[in-house]
Structure 1
Amino acid sequence: MESRQPMSGNVAGRHRSPHRGSSVEFAEYRKYVQGDDTRRLDWKAYARSDRYYIKEFEADTNMRGYFVLDSSGSMDFQGANDSRVQMARQLIAHLAYLLVDQGDAAGLSVCSDKINIEVPPSRRAAHLNHIFDTLAKTKPAGQTGLVDALHLLADKLPQRSMVFIMSDLFCDTEELADALQHLKFRKHDIAVFHLIDRAEIDFNFQRPHRFVDMEDKTTVVAEPVLIADEYKAAMTAFLQQVEIKCHDVAADYRLVTSDQSFEKVIHDFLEARIRRKGSH
């Protein structure tokens, strides 16, 4: 797993940095100036041109992966499969393991109406237990504060990071777009995992139901057959709008439904990043 943004870090790793170094991957030649390290002179270039040139390389550095988990009440919704928060737990746990296993750092922020818990990024294997314990103890409740949390993190993260967002994104879409733009402005690489229960898309309810908002507890009694077409059209428009907002900031967008296995979601995510990297 590699970031598409140059990483700024202080630990040697496998990701391209915007800073020039003296090892790893060749970047370019430049003319020798007094004071340069003569060990970096390219004598073959000198033989060809009778001029002194220095080899410059891309300094590789570590990536910081930062997971943002929405723990608002709606994340506890569960249909026939796992709840949204359980889907998020599995995705974060496995992606964090992949990051640390390749020598990168993983951190976690859990937020509902505010940032409730933060686990600072670390690349130590033992640090994973802290992330796993935090995920296990997370109990969704309250209203969403995802947008505010993303703005706060955009300013707070000191270095270019890869930000993984795990949420149902039931918030104002324009405000979400502003938060994503803020992350992009700060040069963060963004991946959005949009967690939706299959029942919320299919809406195959047959008899009258009482629908309860899991965040503000608003209750609506409705006949599903009478509202199904309008509901499905609104849901489709919502999903399309969110995807467009993500693509506008070059974020990786993945619609994750409850009937998908987390293994397939991760496989498809990584495969898409590999294809995108190969196309550049």
Structure 2
Amino acid sequence: MAVKDLSLFARTVVDGFMTGINKSLNKGAGLEFSQYRSYQPGDDLRWLDWKMYGRSDRYYIRESEVETSISVRFIVDASHSMAHNDSGYTKMDYARHLCATLGYLAHRQGDAIGLYGLTEKGVHVLAARRDPQHLQRFYYQLENLEPGGKFTEPGYYKNIFGASTTRELTVIVTDFYERAGEISALLKELGAYRHELLLFHLVGRNELELDYGNYTSLRDLETGQTISIHAPEMRAAYQERLRERLEMIRHQMLEQGVFYRLLRMDVPVDQALRDLLQQRQKMMR
């Protein structure tokens, strides 16, 4: 997290993670050769057939029967609770680095990536594409996504997420802070489109352990409400309530067919990389 440059961070983490991974992971346009077609501006240059170019002096793209690239849509909760700080960095900091890393991995696999930032005033949309310049736009949008206000109203995202007709993996990054089931409602909406859903639930170590040093009160970032805490007396009851809450969310996601992962902010993103590859390969079967 000390690396602020998202591009550098993503490359460093993914390149290290991929060391030793089977190099035969499916990449590109397909598994079995089907036909050639003329090159069109914007086509991935990796799929040019240079032997055909040598014979005909024209550019051709090698197409395949089985499409192995997908669209990966990243949905990031940008409500004010994502400004929660633990050990000097926020949930939004973690979300940025997490999405940058997963986005770089997806891009490297030949997938289109898109970003949707859920803010109180609306949804910041970067539609999914797979060209090299788009990855830099993806990083730029992540860097400029700041937490603030309450969670997005349903009216802002209605009819946005259901437009795609291609195979799609939707990655949701949130702290699941909700007062009236607003995040649960979004997940039900997404589930109706029958895309593969992968949810990363961010929690701070200080949240899990009710460890805020010498502080004796906490302020709700979204409502401004302040409560007094006496950690030694409250910790056991608090952790039991939190355990029940997390277990309820896990069961709810299981029932809705959502792949759910609880992520502590003090652990590396390696598990998230494995989860993305696992869900992606599941869609290829």
Report the TM-score, using the length of structure 1 for normalisation: 0.71
Tell me whether 1:232 sits opposite 2:248 in the alignment: no
TM-superposed deviation, 1:190: 0.3
Tell me whether 1:143 sits opposite 2:159 in the alignment: no
TM-superposed deviation, 1:188: 0.6
Tell me whether 1:193 sits opposite 2:187 in the alignment: no
- CA RMSD after TM alignment: 3.1
Q: Is the 8 A contact 1:66 1:108 kept in 2?
A: yes
Tell me whether 1:13 sits opposite 2:29 in the alignment: yes
Bigger Rg over Cα: 1
| Partner Cα separation in structure 2 for residue 238 and residue 148 of structure 1 | 27
TM-superposed deviation, 1:226: 2.6
Q: Is the 8 A contact 2:216 2:230 kept in 1?
A: yes
Q: Structure 2 stretches of 5 or more lacking a match?
A: 1-27, 36-63
Relative distance call for 1:133 and 1:205 in structure 2 (3 A) is closer
| Partner Cα separation in structure 2 for residue 125 and residue 271 of structure 1 | 20
Q: Structure 1 stretches of 5 or more lacking a match?
A: 1-11, 16-20, 25-56
| Partner Cα separation in structure 2 for residue 151 and residue 256 of structure 1 | 28
| Partner Cα separation in structure 1 for residue 107 and residue 151 of structure 2 | 29
> Could you say which residue in structure 1 is the equivalent of 2:252?
245
Tell me whether 1:254 sits opposite 2:270 in the alignment: no
> Could you say which residue in structure 2 is the equivalent of 1:97?
104
Relative distance call for 1:156 and 1:60 in structure 2 (3 A) is closer
The DSSP-based 3-state class of the residue aligned with 1:242 is helix
Relative distance call for 1:136 and 1:78 in structure 2 (3 A) is same
Q: Is the 8 A contact 2:123 2:152 kept in 1?
A: no
Report the TM-score, using the length of structure 2 for normalisation: 0.70
Relative distance call for 1:250 and 1:148 in structure 2 (3 A) is farther
- Residues 155-234 of structure 1 aligned to structure 2 (within 5 Å): 155-172=162-179, 175-205=182-212, 207=214, 209-234=216-241
Identity %: 22
Which of 262, 265, 271 is matched with 1:265 structurally? 271
Relative distance call for 1:59 and 1:144 in structure 2 (3 A) is same
Q: Which stretch shows the higher mean deviation, 121-130 or 72-81?
A: 72-81
Q: Is the 8 A contact 1:177 1:246 kept in 2?
A: no
In structure 1, give the amino acid aligned to 2:90.
Answer: S
TM-superposed deviation, 1:208: 5.5
The DSSP-based 3-state class of the residue aligned with 2:107 is helix
Q: Is the 8 A contact 1:151 1:183 kept in 2?
A: no
Q: Is the 8 A contact 1:106 1:121 kept in 2?
A: yes
The DSSP-based 3-state class of the residue aligned with 2:266 is coil
In structure 1, give the amino acid aligned to 2:207.
Answer: E
| Partner Cα separation in structure 2 for residue 178 and residue 140 of structure 1 | 20
> Deviation string for 1:214-273 (max 9, x for gaps)?
1121111222223222211121111111111211122221111011012x2334424654
The DSSP-based 3-state class of the residue aligned with 2:222 is coil
| Partner Cα separation in structure 2 for residue 173 and residue 249 of structure 1 | 18
Tell me whether 1:64 sits opposite 2:65 in the alignment: no
| Partner Cα separation in structure 1 for residue 165 and residue 282 of structure 2 | 26
TM-superposed deviation, 1:90: 1.0
The DSSP-based 3-state class of the residue aligned with 2:272 is helix
| Partner Cα separation in structure 2 for residue 159 and residue 176 of structure 1 | 24
In structure 2, give the amino acid aligned to 1:13.
Answer: A
Aligned residues between the structures: 230
In structure 2, give the amino acid aligned to 1:230.
Answer: A
Tell me whether 1:111 sits opposite 2:127 in the alignment: no
> Deviation string for 1:118-167 (max 9, x for gaps)?
11100001101111011111111111127666655443444442110010
